[in-house]
Amino acid sequence: MSPTKSLLRSIHRYLGLASGLVIVWVCLTGSILAFEKEIEQAWHPERYFVAPATTAPLPLAQVVEAVRARKPKAKIAGLKVYNDPTRTVEVSLAGGPGEGSKGTGPAATSKAGSPKGKGKGEGGGPRVYVNPYTAAITGEVNPRDTFFHTVEQLHRGLVAGKIGKLVMGVNASMFLFILGTGLVLWWPATRQALTSRLRVKWSSGWKRVNHDFHLVLGFYASLFLFVLALTGVGMSFDWVGEGINKLTHSPLKRPEPPLSAAPGAGAAPFAPAAALALARQQAPDAESYTIQLPKESTGSIRVAILCPGAVSENATDEVYLDQYSGRVISGQTYEQRPLGQRIRGLFKPVHTGAVGGWPTKVLVLAVSLLGATFPVTGTVMWLNRRRKQRRNSGRLQPA
């Protein structure tokens, strides 16, 4: 073996041994998160789905009143309405101190222009689900208390705060080096050797099968694992998003939401139902409409419209309305967003496989499970090699 490959093998081996347990953990938790949405809906179908009625849905005001009757002290922060007649209406409530984001909508972003500190509910608090035909409450959950939120916190190291996030970012960076050096070591010296590097010899002994499993399946999975690790690095370090914004000449911060005009005497806030009607006029075939209500008296209503065929659930068109008059203050389609912001917004959907529906989620699940095996098979290869070296050194010793 050449000195260069010998050095790369050492780097590959010791980085793998140093980060192996963390890689196994990250891959296993990541495989669980791939089908988070589908598993949640399968566990609690009554929360998300209703039998479609022959009558039209109730006015949105009645849905809001039903939530207020159940939670009289809570403040409604937003609503999400689906065009699918079998879906419930999701009503997000404002969180308490320290929950959710500071500010409203896109203003609550990091320097790189990516969402920062937001809970899975628009208001950072509980989310109430309502039957759109009867206004009956079908469920209530705080996204911060769910099983999948805990798994995500563990996956990203957020249970340990900034230090845990840094550790996961460093580990993802090490994984990139492991994958890169692994590809170089895998590359066959001759064309004849290529065949043996592309298939597992299942009929051989367990040591050979373990060896082939690590090399062959590692090669097939390496490209996809590289993408997962790269997006993991991007979500762990703010400087990645800042660098992307600079390279694409995108603004480092998203603009503050526009303000509503000073209301006249006795002016009443614009009703969410009216905002929904405007959104439906603009995009009648949209998959969903999310209405985020302002926190301050000068704030604006944000309406996010998810159009059919959107690349991810956050690839929405946005409209801002004056909270008193309902006048459209500003608007922006997904395509009009700065390129850096769109790239940064794809990190998580690509990381979880949400960009292509079931096929990419199955791919992420399979690749993540394979990724969890490679530190194990690699460690077994290292132990087998050490045992062989000790045996050979024992035979060479003089009698």
Which pLDDT score, from 0 to 100, does residue 116 have? 47
Residue 186 lies in a domain: yes
Q: Are residues 243 and 369 in the same domain?
A: yes
- pLDDT tens readout for residues 177-212: 999 999 999 998 777 788 888 999 998 999 999 999
Query: What would the 3-class secondary structure string for 171-232 be?
Result: HHHHHHHHHHHHHHHHCCCCCHHHHHHCCCCCCCCHHHHHHHHHHHHHHHHHHHHHHHHHHH
Residues 316 and 362 in one domain: no
Do 313 and 373 fall within a single domain?
no
Residues 195 and 337 both lie in one domain = no
**Per-residue pLDDT, 115:** 45
Residue range 217-234, pLDDT digits in tens: 999 999 999 999 999 999
CA distance 149 to 106: 22
Give the pLDDT score at 398.
58
Tell me, yes or no, whether 227 lies in a domain: yes
Check whether 145 has a pLDDT greater than 90.
yes
Q: Looking at the structure, do residues 162 and 182 belong to the same domain, yes or no?
A: yes
* Cα separation, 87 vs 95, whole angstroms: 24
**pTM (2 d.p.):** 0.85
308/335 same-domain check: yes
Rama region for 224: left / alpha / beta (φ>0; ψ in -120 to 50; rest): alpha
Fill in the amino acid letter for 168.
M
Q: What is the pLDDT of residue 190?
A: 77
Decide if 191 is inside a domain.
yes
- Please give the pLDDT value at position 3: 83
Please give the pLDDT value at position 100.
Answer: 43
Average pLDDT, the chain: 89
Q: Is residue 304 part of a domain?
A: yes
Q: Which of 337, 352, 367 is the last residue of a domain?
A: 352
Q: Are residues 174 and 317 in the same domain?
A: no
Whether 138 is in a domain gets the answer no
Domain that holds residue 320: 272-352
> Where a domain ends, among 321, 336, 352?
352
Classify residue 113: in a domain, yes or no. Answer: no
Whether residue 348 is found in the same domain as residue 383 = no
Task: Return the closest-CA partner of residue 288 out of 296, 297, 279.
Answer: 279
Number of domains in the chain: 2
Whether the Cβ atoms of residue 244 and residue 344 lie closer than 8 Å to each other: yes
219 is a domain residue: yes
CA 10 to chain centre: 34
CA 339 centroid distance within chain: 19
**Spatial strand order in the sheet of 300-306:** 137-141, 124-130, 89-94, 76-82, 288-292, 300-306, 317-322, 328-332
Q: Give the whole-number percent of the chain exceeding pLDDT 70.
A: 91
51 falls within a domain: no
Instruction: Say yes or no: 359 and 287 in one domain.
Output: no
CB 70 within 8 A of CB 139: no
Q: Which residues, listed in sequence order, are joined to residue 300 by a DSSP beta bridge?
A: 322
Residues 6+ apart with CB under 8 A from 192: none
| 235 and 161 inside one domain | yes
Residue 102 has pLDDT above 90, yes or no: no
Q: How confident is the model at residue 54 (pLDDT cuts 50, 70, 90)?
A: confident
Identify the band that residue 391 occupies on the pLDDT scale cut at 50, 70 and 90: confident
**What local confidence, expressed as pLDDT, does residue 62 receive?**
96
- 303 and 379 housed in the same domain: no
Per the listing, tokens 């203003």 go with 107
Q: pLDDT higher for 388 or 146?
A: 146
Same domain, residue pair 242 and 283: no
